Structure 1
Amino acid sequence: MALAAMQSVDMQGTMAPKLAVQKLTLSNFRNYVSARLDVDQGPVLLTGENGAGKTNLLEAVSMLAPGRGLRTAKTREMDRAGGDSPWAVSATVMSTMGEVSLGSGREPEGERRLVRINGANARSQAALGEYVNVVWLTPQMDGLFQEGASARRRFLDRLIYGFDSAHAGRLNAYDKTLRERSRLLKEGRADAAWLDALETQMVERGIAIVAARKTMAERLNLVCRKADGPFPGAGVAVTGSLEDWLGRMPALQTEDRFKQALQENRRRDAETGGAAHGPHRSDLEVTHLGKGMQASLCSTGEQKALLISIVLAHAKLQAAELGTAPILLLDEVAAHLDADRRAALFEILLGLNSQSWLTGTEPGVFEGLLDRAQLFRVANATIERIDNNN
């Protein structure tokens, strides 16, 4: 959809067919020996004490999408301690392409992540992006605007997956080529032709990555610049040398400039590692528009509200463009909002017609949503459905 057309996005949410998990099965995953959860398309509320396994269930859902999940964990780290086999997660999901069976897990003899779709092995985890898009907020993300740029890049890239399932594959291919170039430069034994070939691949993939990020930021700005109830308006921009070049010159000229920079910085890159220029150097900048202040300078509560604003804007954007919102995983988000923001969040989630998964230690934190959601109690890696209609 053209950017101009995006100005007509309904800021109150768009009713759309749901992307939803229907059945989730875990085996030797984190603290679960085995578990099965059957859910409908409405909000899923998981309550229980800290350490019971609530976040582990959200992580299992996140492993139905490309990437390393909401904890950015290595595959072996998700194995159950003392378990006798690698972890596995499977699910029946209603997608825009109809009902689909998805599975993911660690290969028995290594670190590689295996993916199965409708019973058949997938070539890579990127194939999951054709069926499922999952976006999450966790307590660990509260410091997103204070941390290094890599966490912010991962956050933005996760938002892109819902619109461009090939983005994950480009990122993986770029990172692999970058590492290969760095290794050859460090060893000092690569011939110029081989380096030229690697740098050509870096340029092609790198410019595509940067273009996708710039487009995503521009789309988000159209829907999150205006405050949504108690959630502040946010300005979103992607910064970096490639972004600057792409904003000032045509794409082909930007490719030439990037290729030249890689060639000119080979000696420096050999000493420092990596590359002085590239999408791995980009950053996401967010501004609290109501205060005209960079997110990194805002209070902790304001930073959390800005993150929620961006995630909700992305969900509305995806519903408007693609006809369905992403699955939202909100870990302990409601408990850290005041009553007004909590009530507003619940109404927005319901208006999105999105399946959302929320965690909290007590059911009371979900007041106003309980009678419109399905409630589960999690304790010691066991899951019990609770009748919340009484």
Structure 2
Amino acid sequence: MKKKFYTIGIDSGTQSTKAVLMDVVSGSERAIAVEKYKLYEKDDGSREQNPADWISAVKKTIRAVVKLSKISPEQVLGIGVSGQQHGFVPLDKKGNVIRKAKLWNDTSTQKQAADLIKKLGGLKRTISAIGNSIPPGFTASKIKWLKENEPANYKKLALILLPHNYINYWLTGRAVMEAGDASGTALFDIKKRDWSKKAIRVLDDKKDISKCLPEVQNSNEIIGTLKPSVAKILGLSEKCIVSTGGGDNMMAAIGTGNVKPGMVTVSLGTSGTIFAYSDKPVIDEKAGEIAAFCDSTGAWLPLLCVMNCTVSTELVKTAFGISTDQLGKYAKKVKAGAEGLLLLPYFNGERTPNIPDGKGVMYGLTALNFTAAHFCRAAMEGAAMSINYGVDLLKSKNI
């Protein structure tokens, strides 16, 4: 019987890491494993995770899919990693993580984001310089937060990585980034597809932050092979290659065939994103609400992100002790509009519209609609309302 070969796809998300073992010829799934981890939250808008938890999840899920499939190490030819965007992973000169990573949905850096926009000359000049505004979720504001709030840790800063870059760094020992993920740092000129000297200088005019930024290479390029020590831990061959990979939205675009004009993808998770392919930059010069990202194929990926999507439905599920299946069944019992019950789902602040210190509101409660079914319906409609706001914005740009 002819020996089969496989690749492993890793998706490192906000709630969990998933590993998928796929046949390189047929593209069929052979095994899947998922590992959840903790999110550290504070009332000031902080949302952080320990990068060590991501690595632990990568170890467990890769070993699990290899064990489930009963294959030999040399049958796994390569690994590709996608991950949550924007998260700031600070490393020292020895490659050690300095502190927990501040994530994409961390809104505690809104002051720093506003300061950076002001230093760049205001919103219009900021968008002119990098193609984007600087919401609190973008990486640059988190770097400035570290400088202002933890100067001792900032002094140690030698390398800046994003979540999926850090996993690649652990796998191979090499630090690289790709244009799609780099677009969400607010340190990257999306038109030139290169680091913005102006944005970097504004971030710190004394410390040369450019020396902390990794080189940028294409998503489909090979970073290297597994470090011998890592290969041993994972039970894989040292010859196993690792690709550059990319941000979760960029990889989702490729996975859904969104690599040509006329395609739009809607991704529903902790956040909700709507994005489309473009062969030229699509810049929201007026408000910067549309993220003018590069994609991972050499083109661009105009994107809208709402921070609260399944957040509302998960909260309702927990509050009423129901499953996802029950959530849907309950919601069907109530007519559209939830009989006047409206959920404004800004539980973690919001990016689109940009309300970083926003709060959730349940409006229109009565004795008649105070039921689990009505809450389920309102939670789903609240998330849909936010997504529709993004769809309308993209339509305004003829996408």
Normalised TM-score (structure 2): 0.25
Q: Which structure would you say has the larger RCO, counting Cα contacts within 8 Å and 6 or more residues apart?
A: 1
Structure with greater proportional helix content: 1
